[in-house]
Structure 1
């Protein structure tokens, strides 16, 4: 099959106009959401949030449904590169105007919506969200916040610069379980935590494989060029969209990107973690033929064990070591856990090890437990942290309410000021994973946070900020 012509060059007039608009916005001009117009004493014409959604199939479909359930959000605009993937959402919201290209939607409709929800593959999160923020739009972005470390830092700073309400889609951040863990820790029930283990059964998609050599016919409903977006131009292959892109570095961030924001969020909240100072990794091998180790640099590995060191915080007495394990690797069961008691759930979990005890939780920080588990009912700690109404489901309503109230008026569970550093730590861990591809081996990589680079293995720094394809800018 011949490769499609590149249709997203900046020579297209509508693209030129959009880039011009974005440049003006970056210089300081901002289209202000309708509900913050006016002055002192101004009463908004409506307490409803008008949302434009980019990526409306799969997770995007459920995100939109949850916004709609709040009763305070109107889904006015839908955008997706695949008509078939978007069909269910389009049918559910027949009054919403549909676009295939988010740039065209922003160019034509930005005066008519207040906020943008981004549920696209990882490699296009940042470019959509950043341009939305430049236009003064509040943003909800699926996890991981970005594909690259540079993008995460950029969005974190942009949220403050453009004064917009932000939330990352790691709904476990609104789970009462994270707050229970924090209350136990703050009450000194388990002493000072020095070690944390987080593990997952992901990937549940192919990883550690070679890029398919055989091209395939592009579905008539899919605009493949728009799907590629910032990524390098490649021929369409089977079994990539809509799900398995997660295992390819050009588009996804592997198991860490998929589950890290869910499982590592609790240690960040409980211990006040910010930016890691070093990282090391070992990865699972793939064998092709007898005694021949496969090396597939385009694909994430089938499993990994990554160790991050975080410096002392206001909530810890010293450094904290966080272990990440994926591909089915799990830490040794704590001796305080009964032989028939579950260690996490469905292959996912988080274990905190303190000087006076241990505590565990499952996916999204569900089912928090002290060890031995009998302590959970024996220990009485006063509730000091407010719960999010609705828990994980309330994560969506919290953002909607925050957008209606306006920037700085309400507290959110995963604003970019929190989600940005969390995402950066996970993506820094992936630098150690990619170091194996560059034959760096199992070395400890030292992170210079201010300059966003590894200081002792420069080869991996190319992944801190990747090159975007021509015609796509941020």
Structure 2
């Protein structure tokens, strides 16, 4: 990307940063630890997705510490790692075991991704963080800056990036064989069947049941404003609440928009506009259509990307059927409209691509030359995502979804939630992280943290 990333001299492009990243040896990075030792990993958030993340970490290194605010989840995972020390508060974990750790895996709810990850990186720990990297655009930027400042190996948990099919798709898009691409559509099946938000829930529960003995509620709330405990938040449906989750966009855009974002070498949008269902102060709306406008990148033309989520008037919010030229739209996917060919990826992860001519009589393009490493095993993409990260810790090349890339993707996508909440288009200045003429955008781009919690 050729545009500026931050006013404080963060002017390197994603490609340049990736090429020059991770030049220290493992011994230098791990404070002189022997290169023959397994990477010592602490896992923060070990239930839900954190369970498989912990197990993958155990296959790639040594799990020496586990942390979760839920005793039931913590004890269940700890039963598989009897030598790992257990904690409820990641801050205590880092204070106690900081000198014994090489790396940290963060698989908490979205609102604690950044505070836990940045705290670890400030101690020189390598970080694997689940998608999205952050709860707000400013947190995503802070994640990138911390990774650069402390020279650590990083990877975001959008595991499709590790698949061979995804990398083939990126190469095809970058080859230019589809013709100039100026139009992209991305859609998701969330939140259907996964969690509750508007229109089912539009306000906080009025009842205030006691906090269960196994839940450390203050630690769950973390940097968010304090509120009474209710099972509607933990352990699962936090995604639909403004204070804790990032909605369908945060849950899935780092997966489903990943192929066009990386393939087209997109960066920060200059304008974001949104339409949505009614906005309430507590939960994400029932549906949203968000349009991102990305500027030209060198010889590449400007791109308009449209995101679709939820249901409107009982009907799925999906792209215009005419775009598919008689083909059926799957539950989640992406579609890139090139001047010569259309690329349709019928999956969350961009691992498959279907091509058809866009009014062109040209034969379908041949597969391009390989420029990206293949890790093998599509069914092992999630594990390979961690393997690639641990290899970087040990002195290998930067992972493909390192924070130089992943933080830009996350910040760009989360600007859609800012536009949704404001109910108006926003013109974004990425250098200053401000929105022209909309002062109230500042509190959404960079929300305040509860006392005792910060970056």
The equivalent position to 2:158 in structure 1, one of 149, 170, 173, is: 170
Distance 1:35 1:353 in 2: 47
The equivalent position to 2:418 in structure 1, one of 431, 434, 439, is: 431
User: Number of residues paired by the alignment?
Assistant: 415
Distance 2:151 2:33 in 1: 20
Deviations 1:244-273 (A, max 9, x none): 111111111111100010011111111010
Instruction: Classify 1:205/1:33 alpha carbon distance in 2 versus 1 (closer, same or farther; 3 Å).
Output: farther
Distance 1:334 1:352 in 2: 14
What is the TM-score of this pair, normalised by structure 2?
0.86
Distance 2:166 2:370 in 1: 12
1:51 matches 2:47: no
SS of match in other structure, 1:239: coil
Q: How far did residue 444 of structure 1 move? A: 2.2
The equivalent position to 1:298 in structure 2, one of 255, 275, 282, is: 282
2:313 aligns with: none
Instruction: Classify 1:43/1:142 alpha carbon distance in 2 versus 1 (closer, same or farther; 3 Å).
Output: closer
Which structure would you say has the larger Rg? 1
Distance 2:437 2:375 in 1: 43
Distance 2:113 2:197 in 1: 22
1:282 matches 2:275: yes
Deviations 1:382-410 (A, max 9, x none): 432222333423111101111122xxx41
Q: How far did residue 48 of structure 1 move? A: 1.4
1:180 matches 2:161: no
1:363 aligns with: 348
The equivalent position to 2:443 in structure 1, one of 462, 466, 469, is: 462
Which shifted more, 452-461 or 241-250? 452-461
Q: How far did residue 274 of structure 1 move? A: 0.6
Distance 2:362 2:322 in 1: 16
2:255 aligns with: 262
2:246 aligns with: 253
The equivalent position to 2:366 in structure 1, one of 371, 380, 384, is: 380
Conserved 8 A contact 2:426-2:435: yes
The equivalent position to 1:453 in structure 2, one of 408, 411, 434, is: 434
1:413 matches 2:412: no
Q: How far did residue 174 of structure 1 move? A: 1.6
Instruction: Classify 1:197/1:54 alpha carbon distance in 2 versus 1 (closer, same or farther; 3 Å).
Output: same
Instruction: Classify 1:369/1:469 alpha carbon distance in 2 versus 1 (closer, same or farther; 3 Å).
Output: same
What is the TM-score of this pair, normalised by structure 1?
0.83
1:101 matches 2:89: yes
Conserved 8 A contact 1:167-1:415: yes
Conserved 8 A contact 2:74-2:86: no
The equivalent position to 2:306 in structure 1, one of 299, 303, 323, is: 323
Unmatched segments (≥5 aa) in structure 1: 1-31, 286-294, 437-442
Distance 1:38 1:123 in 2: 28
The equivalent position to 2:224 in structure 1, one of 227, 231, 237, is: 231
